[in-house]
Amino acid sequence: MKKQLLVILSILAFCYTNAQQSQNSQISVEESLVGIQLGVIGISGFYEAKLANNWTVRGEMGLRGNLTIVAGGDNDFYVQPEIALSPRFYYNLKRRVEKGKNIENNSANFLSLYNSYRPDWFTVLDDNERNTNQSISTTFLWGLRRSYGKHFHLEFAAGLGYYKEIDLKPYMKDDSGVYPALDFRIGYQF
């Protein structure tokens, strides 16, 4: 009798473990997402591909605004092209599923290292009519993404970044520094 009880308990434990593993293996980011996003100061197209259950890599191309506020009044705003590549770690997928919340289209909180290159091809809305320089930047972001229906989503992100202007003209001063980042986007995925 003890052996039969032990065998039955072992089988139940095995089945329970397999069920938990099966449920956890289904908790994952989407295989890929393609879409467009409209932000406060920019518009871009994106492609996001799954690397692992919680990891994606995201490529973007579009127009992005740059707002510089300087104490003393020499503020600057312009829009220029941007190409970006960033890994994302979606860290609360399992908890959202446990609470019965949606994780479709990567609806979750994320950490990201947003790496961008802004070429000097052209600028839009440039008040100073200056020659724009190429720049690179890396920004550490904490964000959240929420989907509404099958195609729409909202994203909010905040963080801290470092930028460096490159290929400066000989008469220009080196320009680099740390900046706060704040982003809000509305998007549509195909």
The DSSP secondary-structure symbol of 160 reads E
What does the H/E/C string look like for 102-145?
A: CCHHHCEEEEEEEEEEECCCCCECCCCCCCCCEEEEEEEEEEEE
On whether the pTM is more than 0.85, the answer is no
Number of domains in the chain: 1
In a domain, 81, yes or no: yes
Contact 36, 187 (CB under 8 A): yes
88 by Cβ neighbours in 10 Å (0-12 / 13-18 / 19+) ranks as buried
Does residue 63 belong to any structural domain of this protein? yes
Read off the pLDDT of residues 162-175 as tens digits, 9 standing for 90 and up: 999 887 666 666 67
CATH number at residue 68: 2.40.160.20
What's the pLDDT tens digit per position in 110-122? 999 999 999 988 8
The pLDDT, as a whole number, for residue 22 is: 43
pLDDT in tens, 67-97: 776 666 667 778 899 999 999 999 999 999 9
Domain assignment present for 171 = yes
Supply 40's token pair.
Answer: 């406060």
Backbone phi, psi, residue 127, to 5°: -65, -35
Whole-angstrom distance, CA of residue 22 vs CA of residue 8: 21
- d(CA 103, CA 97) in angstroms, rounded, equals 7
Residue 1 lies in a domain: no
Residue 149's domain comprises 29-189
